[in-house]
Structures are given as C-alpha cells and as structure tokens.
Structure 1
Amino acid sequence: MSIETRKTKDNATPLLKVSGLQGWYGESHVLHGMEFQVSAGEVVTLLGRNGAGKSTTLKAIMGMLGRREGSVLFEGRETIDLLSRSIARLGMGFVPEDRGIYASLSVEENLLLPPRIKPGGMSQERIFTLFPNLKERIHSQGTKLSGGEQQMLAIARILRTGARFLLLDEPTEGLAPVIIEQIGRTISQLKREGYTIVLVEQNFHFAATLADRHYIVEQGRVIDMIPNDALSANIDKLHSYLGV
C-alpha cells in the first residue's frame, strides 16, 4: 500500500491534504512532490535529515515561498493560490524556527500584535496558565527573554488568534531540557483540547512522546510513514533514515 493511500486517524476525511507539492527558493527546486495528510486532532511529525525540506514544507503550506505548485487542501478548500494572510484567516497558525519575536516590543505587545482570525482564541489568563513564565515577564522586552521564553511567546501569540491548526517548526531547538519538557506538556494539552499540529522536530525522542504518526522526508518528498505505535518494530529503519 502506498504512503498516500494509508488511512489517517479514525479513517476521517483529512483536515489537511498535501498532494504533489512542489516548492522553490528562487531557482532552487526544494520540494519534489510532497504527499501527506493530517486528520483533525492529530499531532503529526515531519522527520528527516537537515536539508530534507521539512521547514520548507511548512512555509509552502502557509504560502510563504515565492513559487509553489501542487495541491494543499485545508478543510476541503484549495489554498495553493491564496496569499499567506488569507491562509492564516482560515485558522492556520505558523510558529517559525526563528520565532519572529519583535525585540523592541514587550511580551504583552508581542502577544497582542497579531489580529484575531477566529472566535475562541485563548485569553491572556489562559495563556499565562499554560506559560506562567510569560506572566512574570509581561513587561519585559523581547531582547530580554531567554530562548525558551521566546518560544513560549511565539506559540502563545498564535493561540490568542484563534487558530486551531498549528505548524510548529523546530520548537525545542537550542532549549534546556526543563523548557523542552514544558513545551511538550503544552503540546500534549493542546492535543487533548482538540488542536491539530504538524511538528517539524530534530529531537526524535521528543516527537515520539507526542505524535500519532511520523512522515519521513528525504530530498523534498515523503518516503515513508510510521505510526507511533509501530515505532519499536521500525526503529532500525528509522535510524537508517535519520542517520542516527
């Protein structure tokens, strides 16, 4: 059975379906027919070596590449020709690898900057329950935050907008173990609350504690999919894919 025809969670109609996705940076052809799908309420990871095209895939889904082709269906709607701002208004939130925190603005100003795009965005009180560090630093400038605090703020900022489909690019990169644990608890809580998450992550052990399924990306395409409950039986294959 091909990767594309394997069933997603509960055989549901996918919330996101990516088909034949091609992507370019200038003249450089990076994505070569990405194919995967995500059902509502899932956490799905894109795993692969550096340069495989994982982060580029998230940017392509959000319309942030200069050129992309193929199909990106979100809630049954084709988005391949939409601008990034229009895609975001559909309820899709992107947390980039560089976190995108405005250094000259305070935590509160960063948090309130993006507009609400959907009803039901998290209140500041709820956000501070998830990330108590941010409440303590509410008046601190972005330049004064640690890497972990910046990551918390980047996620919190999206949660306030009302987006319930999240694209998280390397959320644990460079963070201390105690902060990684906190980010993991937050993602687990969001999953319990019905959020859907696509996670690009180099820390495979972190991803394995959260995800329902893992797509293996190599040279800009998906070459395999491993359900989380089949990891033990496929660990040698996975190590060969990732070069562990």
Structure 2
Amino acid sequence: MAEAAALDMRPAGDAKPRLSVRGLHAFYGESHVLHGMEFDVSNGEVITLLGRNGAGKTTTLRAIIGQQRNRRGSILFDGIETIGLPARQIARMGVGYVPEERGIFSSLSVLENLHLPPALGAAAVSDDEIFELFPNLRERLDSQGTKLSGGEQQMLAIARILRAGFRFLLLDEPTEGLAPVIIEQISRTIRILKERGYTIVLVEQNFHFASSVADRHYIVEQGRVVDMVRADALEQNRAKLHKYLGI
C-alpha cells in the first residue's frame, strides 16, 4: 500500500490551504494512535475523513482543536502553527468543534444553549438565520437538553457553533443514530453553509451522506491517510472504497 507521503493529498487548484496537517502523531498514554496524518483543506471546501472504527479519525479532530494534548507534528491554520496552542486559543481563531457526543448542556434550555458561547464578532449567525436552517429549534426554545431528541440535540450542537461565529467547522459523526429525515436536514444545512463559504471537516461512517456533501474524501487507516478520492471520481473508485470501508 502506498505511504501517505507519496500520495497527492492537495485540493484541486493552487489555492493556499486553510488547514494543512503534516506528520501528525498522537498518543493516549503509551498507545500510539496517529502515525503521521497528512492532509489539506482549502477555504470553502467540505472534506471527509473516512475509515473504519478505531482508524484515528476522531483523534485527528481532537488534535486539530487542541483537545488531544499529547500530539506532535504540524497543524497550520491560516498559516499559523497551532500544534502547541491550547484549545481555547485555537477556538478563538474561528475553529468550531461538534464532538460525537454533541456536548450540549442538558440542564439548559435550547435558547440558553444557543446564547451561552460568546460570539466571535461579525461572523456570528443570528437567531433568525439559525431558525431558518433548523426550524425545529424555534419550536423547542424553552425545552431542556434532556427533553430533545437525538436529532434535535445534533441540530442544537451545530447551531450553537454557528451562532458563536465559527466558520471552520469540525463535525464528528453528525448523522450517527439519526432518522433519515433528520440526516437530510443536516445534509441540506451543510450544503447551504458550503455555499456561504464555510469550511467543514467531517468524520463520518455514513458514506451515502458523506458522498452527497463533500468535495473530497480522505481514507484513514491505522492513524494515517492512505488515499484520497475526489467527489467527481467516486464511481470509478467504488471498488477501492469498498476495499477500504466495506461499503
């Protein structure tokens, strides 16, 4: 199998990457999880990290946002090296993270969850815009987090980082366990955000969903990127994707 360093992981065109990950290693105690992750993301692009469970996809997001402290290598965001920065400083650069467990405050209402994070200047999305993207939330403003369905919790988690003004989004398994109608609503939201210039990194197991929204797909195995497939080349690479992902 080709090593990641030998693969062309760059986006199409000559645009300077918004995010550039090089030689990224990460550890949980003595366990070596990431083994030289390398990939780029351009401004306004949606990319996915695809791979089987345990491949290192979530750890990669945690390393980018600074929650995975035991990491080394290079993570350039807008040309600034962030590998040694704490998570709060990376967030202030405009990087928003929705973890797999969603991370909403279960004892707070929908409105309180939305208004809790401080807004990052003019990039903050208004409440009215939030409710256009997620009409369900308007009807549940006074409901506590514990009273929301899984889909409503996911909508709220995404809405919260949009209202806070993040324009570079890290979304970990946003469709896991959700009904098809909710998955379609999240898919629609991601397409709208892409049209508005947001940059999004998705970790996904649902390949059908990922293929409907992403520009490129990075294949992750054993803590490294082993291949990259562009959206316009999915059909001719279906056999290869089946081998990697079992789809």
TM-score calculated relative to the size of structure 1: 0.97
Q: Is the 8 A contact 1:91 1:118 kept in 2?
A: no
Query: Does 1:172 find its partner at 2:170?
Result: no
> What SS is found at the alignment partner of 2:13?
helix
Amino acid paired to 1:167: L
Q: Pick from 88, 102, 107: which aligns with 2:105?
A: 102
Aligned-CA RMSD value: 1.2
Q: Is 1:221 matched with 2:247? A: no
Count of matched residue positions in the alignment of Structure 1 and Structure 2: 244
> Unpaired runs of 5+ in structure 2?
none
Q: C-alpha distance in 1, partners of 2:155/2:94?
A: 20
**2:146 maps to 1:158:** no
How many angstroms apart in 2 are the aligned matches of 1:203 and 1:226? 16
Structure 1 residue 59 and structure 2 residue 81: aligned? Answer: no
The match for 2:238 is 235
Q: Report the equivalent of 2:18.
A: 15
1:3 deviates by 5.5
Matched residue SS, 2:237 = helix
Are residues 3 and 37 of structure 1, via their aligned partners in 2, closer, same or farther at CA, if it must alter by over 3 Å?
farther
Residue 118 of structure 1, CA deviation: 3.7
Q: How does 1:1-150 map to 2 (within 5 A)?
A: 5-150=8-153
Tell me if the contact between 2:10 and 2:39 (Cα under 8 Å) persists in the aligned partners: no
Asked if the contact 1:43–1:199 (Cα under 8 Å) also holds between the matched residues in 2, the reply is: yes
C-alpha separation in 2, matches of 1:226 and 1:195:
21
- Equivalent AA in structure 1 for residue 226 of structure 2: I
* Unpaired runs of at least 5, structure 1: none
Deviations 1:90-134 (A, max 9, x none): 000001000001111000011111111242210111101110100
Query: Relative to structure 1, is the Cα distance of residues 3 and 90 closer, same or farther in structure 2, using a 3 angstrom cutoff?
Result: farther
Displaced runs of 4 or more, over 3 A: 1-7
Q: Percentage identity across aligned positions? A: 68
Equivalent-residue separation in structure 2 for 1:213 and 1:66 (angstroms): 28
What code does the residue aligned with 2:85 have? L
